Copies of this chain bind each other. A is one copy, B any other.
């Protein structure tokens, strides 16, 4: 694939954190190359602490890389902007805003207040939180907060969606419903999605391509296309031999890294 055609191009990306207590540098990402095409749905798998969130932060423009280049639409990644939406692993809801106001926060453009409200309410309904519009985040359960965060990011309708385990706090069934919702939005609005997940199953259901990262400092260990036709049916995939094979393969790859990380300790 030609680098120029890719929506996101990452070359030789490295990120070190300064550890103020010991004075040493902690390498989080160590020389990572990655391309994501426009409208592609890429899932990112990797052992805990391997640098997945850090990668998203760099792509989002929140932290700067120690080395390497990151291009978005062919241009070096700039400061955070509304073209890249992010769902943080730890939600980051505004505690002083109600659910409705949190979701409305990111909606802009020419929309009238009434339209913005309607749009926010529709999204709240999509994450099954109708009735909680007036609640403040601290009165919500973990999963509910996560769903508000999802709705908020979708509301402002970014071109690229960076999602950091957005369904991690949801029960499997709600998660399935959310996955379906996300896929619908992805197809309709033709977004580019980079999606961090811990679940091999989820990756197989959602992704065009699954990227597996090595243990810290994170690099790309494997980059595997998911050759399954869409729409994908959860129940069918349970028995689909390609899917079973893929899951086993991904499982093995991550396991290898987890074991390696453990050994390195």
A-to-B contact residues, CB < 8 Å: 17, 19, 21-22, 26, 45-49, 52-53, 89-90, 98, 125, 128-131, 134-136, 139-144, 147, 165, 168-175, 177, 198-200, 251, 254-255, 257-258, 261-262, 265
Question: Among the listed B49, B128, B147, B199, which residue makes an inter-chain contact with A140, where contact means beta carbons less than 8 Å apart?
Answer: B49
Given the interface pairs A21-B98, A21-B136, A265-B131, the reply to whether A168 lies near B171 with Cβ below 8 Å is no
B143 with A172: CB separation less than 8 A: no
Question: Among the listed B47, B52, B130, B173, which residue makes an inter-chain contact with A47, where contact means beta carbons less than 8 Å apart?
Answer: B173
A198 with B171: CB separation less than 8 A: yes
B262 with A128: CB separation less than 8 A: yes
B251 with A173: CB separation less than 8 A: yes
Give A142 to B165 CA distance when docked, in angstroms.
10
Other than the known A21-B135, A45-B171, what 19 A-B pairs have Cβ atoms closer than 8 Å? A21-B134, A46-B171, A48-B141, A48-B147, A53-B141, A89-B169, A90-B90, A129-B265, A142-B165, A143-B198, A169-B198, A171-B198, A171-B254, A172-B198, A172-B251, A172-B254, A173-B251, A173-B257, A175-B198
